[in-house]
């Protein structure tokens, strides 16, 4: 009364009954509003429970739905309703009977799976699972032994998107001796799985990069060893080969002298006298056989000389590959170098091969060795001509920018298969037949370009052709080309 008196003090002299009536009405309105909200919440609870009961008669499932619905509608603190309410509030939860048919699912699980409650109740729990889940068999085996299972499950939402759940599965007998079935409650770990997948992908990329570097180092060591071995082999073979080459050349000259002597004797004495002289010497050699020997021996010596020259070419390539006898660099006109190479390779391009020159008009020089660079261009042109089997087009295009000079050699041949494209610069690798190539040409070419502080790359498409791109540093920077 003291409080009401204090509140009414400003109104002294007025009719206090009006104030009391007004306050009473306000209190009654508040009470009515609270009662109305409680009534509506009760109606909603009854409606939701009635709807759920129409889907399943499972008593434990209905008890969980009662807890969840009352907590939601009446804004009750879940902790005050016990551990089950807390589990329903914090985890994705669903329950099944002993056959695995879903009897209950909370709102969090419905939101995650994108299903409506009516689509899940009565359905087997595998409806949410991704087929071929690795953990399914282990989970079923553990549950059959009436034990708790914990693990990760990959489920599929209604839209088809997979999601991951870290889940515990308890037999309901752990909660109540009267209940049979299982309760699943878990946490959505899809984001963590995606992050882990990205991290694993990055780790694999790093491992591949490390492996590639290791292979490059191993390859570099092999190349260094091969260079030393190649130099030793070249020295060991070169000395006896020089004797063979000299003797074959001397033998060729001797055979030519003998041939001239026999032809002179035949001309002076006549063939009849020559035959009688051979018979008088009791020789088994007839005049026809003598003629055949004189014709065949020069061919044999020539083939021998060709073989010796081929061996000498291989030795020369090996010496070049082992960096033996490096030349001092000097200014080189690349266009003049290319023309020299085309002249050297003319025997491969003169029949059916069209060579198109697309040279940059600007004058530019590089510092290098003209013979070595000519060797590179000869290798590329000869390889292209041989790949096209004497019929096709080779385009040699050059372009100078401010710092580099680019040379592109393109052919319209059969191309290089993708599976061997990465191997074309390896020593002794060749796609040619036995006896047609040593497999050192491109390896030496790459080595020469690297010694010139440049780069060489290849691009090829089967059935279209192959292109080699060489970039070499210029001696002096050029001004920007006019547009």
CB 369 within 8 A of CB 332: yes
Q: Is residue 373 part of a domain?
A: yes
DSSP summary character for residue 389: T
Mean pLDDT of 400-425: 88
The reply to whether 59 and 178 lie within a common domain is yes
245 — phi, psi (to 5°)? -60, -45
Q: Is the same domain home to 184 and 212?
A: no
Over residues 185-208, the mean pLDDT reads 90
Rg (CA), the chain: 47
pLDDT at 45: 65
- Give the pLDDT of residue 398: 93
Lowest mean pLDDT among 157-161, 179-183, 345-349: 345-349
Mean pLDDT across 151-155? 89
**How many residues make up the chain in this entry?**
483
Domain-ending residue, one of 321, 339, 372: 321
CA pair distance 249, 419, nearest whole angstrom: 45
CB of 425 closer than 8 Å to CB of 446: yes
Query: Do residues 54 and 44 make contact, with C-beta atoms less than 8 angstroms apart?
Result: no
pTM as predicted: 0.43
Q: Are 353 and 266 in contact (CB under 8 A)?
A: no
* Interval 421-438 mean pLDDT: 68
Please check whether residue 8 lies inside any domain of the structure.
no
Which tokens is 281 given?
């010497």
> What average pLDDT score do residues 382-387 get?
88
Identify whether 1 is part of a domain: no
* 313 and 378 assigned to the same domain: no
Between 37-41, 262-266, 462-466, the lowest mean confidence (pLDDT) is in 37-41
CB of 462 within 8 A of CB of 416? yes
User: Do 258 and 351 belong together in one domain?
Assistant: no
Residue 198 lies in a domain: no
Q: Give me the pLDDT at residue 16, please.
A: 65
So what's the pLDDT on residue 149?
A: 92
Chain centroid to CA 187: 35
Averaged pLDDT, 158-170: 91
Using the 3D structure, point to which of 321, 352, 382 is the last residue of a domain: 321
Shared domain check, 244 and 125: no
Do 304 and 335 share a structural domain? no
Segment of 77-81, 315-319, 385-389, 395-399 carrying the highest mean pLDDT: 395-399
Asked if 155 and 286 sit in the same domain, the reply is: no
Whether 106 shows a pLDDT value over 80: the answer reads yes
Domain around 347: 330-473
Q: How many domains are there within the chain?
A: 3
Residue 1 banded pLDDT, cuts 50, 70, 90: very low
Outline where DSSP puts E strands in 76-219.
Answer: 92-96, 102-105, 149-156, 162-171, 182-188
Nearest to 138 by CA among 128, 124, 152: 152
Is 275 within 8 Å of 285 (Cβ atoms)? no
Average pLDDT estimate for 134-151: 86
Which of 113-117, 243-247, 357-361, 459-463 shows the lowest per-residue confidence on average (mean pLDDT)?
Answer: 243-247
Kindly provide the residue ranges of all beta strands, DSSP E only, lying in 330-426, ordered along the sequence. 330-333, 353-358, 365-368, 392-400, 404-411
Query: Are residues 316 and 354 located together in one domain of the fold?
Result: no
Within-domain flag for 199: no
Which helix H or strand E contains 405, and what residues bound it? strand 404-411
Which of 80-84, 205-209, 295-299, 439-443 holds the top average pLDDT? Answer: 205-209
Residue 157 lies inside a defined structural domain of this protein: yes
Question: What does the pLDDT read at residue 432?
Answer: 63
| pLDDT(461) > 80 | yes
Q: With respect to residue 3, please indicate whether it lies within any of the assigned structural domains.
A: no
Token pair recorded at residue 139: 């989970």
Three-state DSSP class for residue 345 = coil
Give the residue from 297, 321, 345 where a domain finishes.
321
Q: Which residues touch 360 (CB under 8 Å, ≥6 apart)?
A: 398, 399, 400
Strand duo 465-473 + 455-461: pairing: antiparallel
Q: Determine the average pLDDT of the residues in 396-422.
A: 89
CATH (domain of 399) = 3.30.565.10
Residue 481: inside a domain, yes or no?
Answer: no
pLDDT at 281: 65
**Which CATH number goes with the domain that contains 40?**
3.30.450.20
pLDDT at 357: 92
Indicate whether 435 pLDDT > 70: no
Please check whether residues 246 and 369 belong to one and the same domain.
no
Q: Is 375 a residue whose pLDDT tops 80?
A: yes
Report, as an integer, the average pLDDT of 128-156: 84
Bridge-based pairing of strands 353-358 and 392-400 is parallel
**Rounded mean pLDDT, 419-438:** 70
pLDDT higher than 90, residue 457: yes
Residue with the bigger pLDDT between 288 and 453: it is: 453
Could you tell me which residue, 428 or 168, shows the higher pLDDT? 168
Give the angle 458-366-426 at the CA atoms, nearest 5°. Answer: 30
Please indicate, yes or no, whether residues 58 and 179 belong to a single structural domain of this protein.
Answer: yes
460 closest CA partner among 432, 407, 424: 424
Q: What is the mean pLDDT of the chain?
A: 79
Q: 55 versus 188: which is more confidently predicted?
A: 188
Residues 157, 219 within the same domain: no
Same domain membership, residue 377 and residue 228: no
pLDDT (0 to 100) of residue 319: 61
The pLDDT value recorded for residue 483 is 37
């Amino acid at each position: 009364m003291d409080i009401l008196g204090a509140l009414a003090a400003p109104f002294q002299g007025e009719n206090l009954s009006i104030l009391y009536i007004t306050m009473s009405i306000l209190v009654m309105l508040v009470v009515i509003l609270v009662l109305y909200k409680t009534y509506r919440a009760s109606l909603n609870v009854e409606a939701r429970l009635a709807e759920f009961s129409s889907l399943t008669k499972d008593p434990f499932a209905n008890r969980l739905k009662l807890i969840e619905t009352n907590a939601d509608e009446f804004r009750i603190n879940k902790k005050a309703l016990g551990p089950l309410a807390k589990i329903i509030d914090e985890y994705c939860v669903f329950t099944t009977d002993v056959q695995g048919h879903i009897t209950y699912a909370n709102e969090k699980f419905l939101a995650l799976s994108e299903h409506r409650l009516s689509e899940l109740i009565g359905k087997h729990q595998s409806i949410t699972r991704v087929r071929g889940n690795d953990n399914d068999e282990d989970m079923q085996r553990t549950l059959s032994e009436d034990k708790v299972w914990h693990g990760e499950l990959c489920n599929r939402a209604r839209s088809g998107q997979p999601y991951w759940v870290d889940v515990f599965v308890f037999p309901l007998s752990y909660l109540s001796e009267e209940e049979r079935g299982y309760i699943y409650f878990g946490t959505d770990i899809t984001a963590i799985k995606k992050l882990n997948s990205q991290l694993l992908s990055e780790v694999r990329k790093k491992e591949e990069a490390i492996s590639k570097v290791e292979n490059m180092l191993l390859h570099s060591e092999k190349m260094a060893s091969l260079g030393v071995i190649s130099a030793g082999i070249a020295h060991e073979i070169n000395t006896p080969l020089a004797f063979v080459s000299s003797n074959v050349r001397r033998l060729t000259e001797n055979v030519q002298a003998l041939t001239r002597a026999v032809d002179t004797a035949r001309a002076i004495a006549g063939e009849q006298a020559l035959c009688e002289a051979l018979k008088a010497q009791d020789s088994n050699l007839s005049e026809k056989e003598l003629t055949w020997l004189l014709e065949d021996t020069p061919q044999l010596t020539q083939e021998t000389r060709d073989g010796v020259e081929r061996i000498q070419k291989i030795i020369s390539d090996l010496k070049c590959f082992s960096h033996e006898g490096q030349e001092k660099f000097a200014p080189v006109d690349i266009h003049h170098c290319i023309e020299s190479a085309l002249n050297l390779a003319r025997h491969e391009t003169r029949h059916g091969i069209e060579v198109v020159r697309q040279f940059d008009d600007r004058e530019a020089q590089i510092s290098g060795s003209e013979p070595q660079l000519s060797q590179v261009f000869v290798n590329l042109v000869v390889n292209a001509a041989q790949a096209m089997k004497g019929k096709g087009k080779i385009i040699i295009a050059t372009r100078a920018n401010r710092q580099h000079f680019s040379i592109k050699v393109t052919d319209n041949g059969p191309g290089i298969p993708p599976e061997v494209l990465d191997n074309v610069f390896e020593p002794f690798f060749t796609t040619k037949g036995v006896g047609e190539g040593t497999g050192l040409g491109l390896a030496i070419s790459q080595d020469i370009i690297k010694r010139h502080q440049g780069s060489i790359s290849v691009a090829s498409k089967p059935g279209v052709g192959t292109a080699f791109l060489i970039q070499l540093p210029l001696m002096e920077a050029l001004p920007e080309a006019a547009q």
